[in-house]
Structure 1
């Protein structure tokens, strides 16, 4: 593991002494460990969509997929995926822009539809990742077991998905997301995570059934636009934790092993330009170099033009030049 980096901008300050020497620091982990029921639930939500994804090829071969399924799956992938990248990540975790109340609520609901955890939990885990990126304390570093190929292979699996159900420690929201716990709208949406999950899984089937006026249309829409869509989005998101911390290009100086992986840019909506993100975490655009497509940044730009997003932290050329890796 590398040395522990300093807390990046956009995460809560780690220096409790500044708030008073006698103040008791808030623990980074919840006092109770993950219970068996919680770990089994996470395991199920990881592997059931994965099984659907693996089954999609033979299921697709010659039957079982229509333009209606593709349309519904695409819309739900777009909404839930941007809810994660624009909402959970760039807005709630790093404060890359300010959203008005309606947009804030919409982003929190959309991100929850990705079924990657409730908004408060997701943000707390990700802020802890940035505080200890690729160092002791990082919840999902692929380098946690060592640098040899066997350790990295094991680390890739752990960083990609296993950490969610093998790690007993629970990140403390009071320590890493106190700002969200003070927001009544976000606290309510966090509590409504289960109903939002049910809507995310059930709405595609309902739409598919109504459009085709058949149970078969409902079933295929549920398979493609619920299970396969969730599985695909999960693995694209998790690839940022695993692949983008293992291989790729380093264009900007960072204290960890975050890298840019171009072939993940489109499905991840620009999140795979991960090297710049770790060099400048609060920047609203991750793909800052020529040819680096960043769909999430364009969506934020649209929100800004409509007046829904303000104080957007766009790239600063001088700051980027100072962090640029010399060729």
Structure 2
């Protein structure tokens, strides 16, 4: 693998990063702050799934793990994370492909089931991340405090989870004017509370119906709701933290993004993060031999079925130009 290319200390903003240019002095970086109620919900939906993950060992030891719990958790995990990777990320944030209106709405709802924020909030934050990746303005760079051991440890915590508690919200008018103009997407975003309720209650309902017992409903909620959400959260957050600190950099990017292969399957291809930052609008992130990218395969299937079009697949010429030297 080619040697790592050093990232410039203050790199320019990539022109194709997915964030619209901000008119000087017109739209600030941040919008309105979260209310106390919204901040409380953030704490609840971050801490509760983490506690559930910690509790998995004693729960398995004491009560076991049924096949129905595994199936329910796996299905909701796959639906939610593909909603984030294919929908929130590659479609809405970077416009890697265009989708039929019904698929566009479906992807927005599927991403909402991951309980990582509404489609508007998620895309605004991520476009801001690309516009200021690993420099001032990036909402979750692990390098914000410096490069000393203490600073790196502090930065890792910030990038992985600390940034979630920042009350300041990315400015929607600056980063997502296209989505604000989309009535269907705005409606899905406004109903985010409904999708959260479905994401947590439906696994319990299915568990209860499959086992025809209250115990099945409880385990369905625990494994298919809380544990699934906790795992999905930490896999996604690891892209922000680990994939900007550990791994290989075969392509030239203007930040410290890296490829971290152990997360490739669980993240559905998102951990091939270096190519993504080198070419943000590309529909496939895992472009080298052996790099599995399930999200790209899903987009390919959508294209074959006629549900997606104008897919921005990588080209040999562009990849050659982006290779690190």
TM value normalised by structure 2: 0.95
**CA contact under 8 A between 1:108 and 1:189: conserved in structure 2?**
yes
C-alpha distance in 1, partners of 2:243/2:301? 27
* 1:50-74 residue CA offsets vs partner (Å, 9 max, x unmatched): 0001100111125241000101111
**Residue 281 (structure 1) aligned with residue 288 (structure 2):** no
The answer for the alignment partner of 2:86 in structure 1 is 86
Q: What value does the CA root-mean-square deviation take over the aligned residues? A: 1.3
The answer for the alignment partner of 1:26 in structure 2 is 27
| Compared CA separation, residues 10 and 134, structure 1 to 2 (3 A) | closer
Q: Which moved more, 1:3-12 or 1:101-110?
A: 3-12
**Residue 262 (structure 1) aligned with residue 269 (structure 2):** no
**Residue 243 (structure 1) aligned with residue 250 (structure 2):** no
The answer for the alignment partner of 1:21 in structure 2 is none
Q: Which moved more, 1:32-41 or 1:100-109?
A: 32-41
1:3 Cα deviation after fit: 1.0
* 1:115-162 residue CA offsets vs partner (Å, 9 max, x unmatched): 000000000000000000000000000000000111010100010011
* 1:20-77 residue CA offsets vs partner (Å, 9 max, x unmatched): xxxx6222211x3333332221111101000001100111125241000101111000
**CA contact under 8 A between 2:204 and 2:218: conserved in structure 1?**
yes
The answer for the alignment partner of 1:188 in structure 2 is 187
The answer for the alignment partner of 1:36 in structure 2 is 36
The answer for the alignment partner of 2:202 in structure 1 is 203
C-alpha distance in 2, partners of 1:268/1:12? 23
| Compared CA separation, residues 173 and 77, structure 1 to 2 (3 A) | same
Long gaps (5+) in structure 1: 18-23
The answer for the alignment partner of 2:293 in structure 1 is 294
1:6 Cα deviation after fit: 1.4
1:4 Cα deviation after fit: 4.5
| Compared CA separation, residues 154 and 10, structure 1 to 2 (3 A) | closer
TM value normalised by structure 1: 0.95
* 1:1-327 alignment runs, 5 A limit: 2-9=9-16, 11-14=18-21, 16=23, 25-30=26-31, 32-61=32-61, 63-165=63-165, 167-326=166-325
**CA contact under 8 A between 1:287 and 1:294: conserved in structure 2?**
yes
C-alpha distance in 1, partners of 2:15/2:107? 23
C-alpha distance in 2, partners of 1:98/1:119? 16
C-alpha distance in 2, partners of 1:105/1:181? 14
* 1:169-191 residue CA offsets vs partner (Å, 9 max, x unmatched): 21011110010011110000000
Long gaps (5+) in structure 2: 1-7
**CA contact under 8 A between 1:7 and 1:13: conserved in structure 2?**
no
Figure out how many residues of one structure are paired with residues of the other and give that number: 318
Secondary structure (helix, strand or coil) at the match of 2:30 reads: coil
